[in-house]
């Protein structure tokens, strides 16, 4: 599915982000690298690493870091405002890093991410991408509640793909209608718009994430 998106000339995206189920898949990460697809994917605390020729794991590697290695950044806006965490990163290859997120209120609560980019990036950019999953998860939950994204009983990929695609299209349509209604309510014309619902959509060749 990722490769189909990468091959679509009308679809543009800068990063891929995913949870542990995908991040711990070495083959998937290598495929993304071979296609030049920047990614920040979550990995388990026992994710294996080789640092200075020695085998270790993600949680042990970051436990050994000095206090000054951690920097506080917001990874985006949440339900209660900015979501601040302490972050640190360790280089594990050419343009490749392991990123750690530590809770400000509970330093024992950590999450880890494997990162790769086709260009040089700064820590705040990786933090931003890691935090983007929060909004993605919100969209998934909304789609489950509003259009039945998870209401399928199929055992074959084709049937599942059709159901999920239809649900995504329906959710996008509802989101567009909601945005159009909000814009109309704020206009002096009392909610009227100049044309069909699709008016104001982005031009072909761009996708709003």
Pick the more confident residue, 21 or 202. Answer: 21
Position 186 scores a pLDDT of 61
Higher pLDDT pick, 78 / 104: 104
Residues 203 and 169 in one domain: yes
* pLDDT: which is higher, 177 or 208: 177
**Secondary structure tally for the chain: helices H, strands E:** 6, 8
Among 34-43, 57-66, 92-101, 140-149, where is mean pLDDT lowest? Answer: 140-149
* Residue 155 predicted with pLDDT over 90: no
Average pLDDT over the chain, rounded to whole?
A: 85
- The angle that helices 123-147 and 157-185 make with each other, rounded to 10 degrees, is 100
74 lies in some domain: yes
Q: Which two tokens stand for residue 35?
A: 């296609």
- Based on the fold, state whether residues 125 and 29 are members of the same structural domain: yes
Within-domain flag for 142: no
Say if residue 110's pLDDT is above 70.
Answer: yes
CB 162 within 8 A of CB 169: no
Give rounded-to-5 percent helix, strand, coil for the chain. Answer: 40, 25, 35
Whether 178 and 97 map to the same domain: the answer is no
At 63, the pLDDT band (50, 70, 90 cuts) reads very high
Mean pLDDT of 144-169: 88
Give me the number of domains the chain comprises: 2
Q: CA separation (Å) from 41 to 19, 133, 142?
A: 6, 10, 22
Would you say residue 126 has pLDDT above 60?
A: yes
Answer with the residue of higher pLDDT: 31 or 203.
31
Residues pairing with 82 in the sheet: 77
69 and 114 co-located in one domain? yes
Out of 107, 132, 157, a domain closes at 132
The pLDDT score that the predictor gives to residue 195 is 41
Q: Give me the pLDDT at residue 196, please.
A: 41
93 and 175 housed in the same domain: no
- The partner residues of 90 in beta bridges, in order of sequence, read 98
Q: Are residues 155 and 203 in the same domain?
A: yes
Residues 6 or more apart whose Cβ sits within 8 Å of residue 177: 197
Question: Which residues, in sequence order, are bridge partners of residue 88?
Answer: 100
**Model pLDDT, residue 202:** 38
Domain span including residue 8: 2-132
State percent of the chain over pLDDT 70: 88
The answer to whether residue 177 sits within a structural domain is: yes
The reply to whether 102 and 168 lie within a common domain is no
d(CA 37, CA 49): 21
């Amino acid at each position: 599915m990722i490769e189909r998106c990468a091959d679509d000339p009308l679809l543009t995206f800068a990063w891929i982000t995913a949870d542990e189920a995908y991040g711990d898949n070495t083959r998937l990460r290598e495929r993304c690298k071979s296609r030049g697809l920047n990614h920040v994917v979550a990995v388990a605390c026992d994710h294996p690493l080789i640092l200075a020729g020695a085998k270790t794991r993600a949680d042990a590697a970051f436990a050994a870091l000095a206090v000054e290695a951690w920097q506080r950044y917001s990874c985006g806006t949440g339900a209660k405002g900015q979501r601040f965490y302490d972050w640190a990163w360790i280089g594990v290859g050419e343009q490749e890093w392991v990123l750690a997120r530590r809770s400000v209120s509970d330093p024992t609560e950590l999450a880890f991410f494997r990162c790769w980019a086709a260009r040089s990036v700064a820590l705040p950019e990786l933090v931003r991408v890691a935090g983007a999953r929060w909004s993605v998860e919100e969209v998934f939950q909304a789609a489950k509640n509003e259009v039945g994204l998870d209401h399928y009983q199929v055992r074959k990929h084709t049937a599942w793909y059709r159901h999920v695609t239809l649900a995504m299209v329906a959710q996008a349509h509802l989101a567009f209608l909601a945005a159009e209604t909000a814009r109309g309510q704020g206009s002096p014309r009392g909610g009227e718009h100049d044309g069909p619902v699709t008016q104001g959509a982005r031009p072909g060749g761009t996708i709003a994430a």
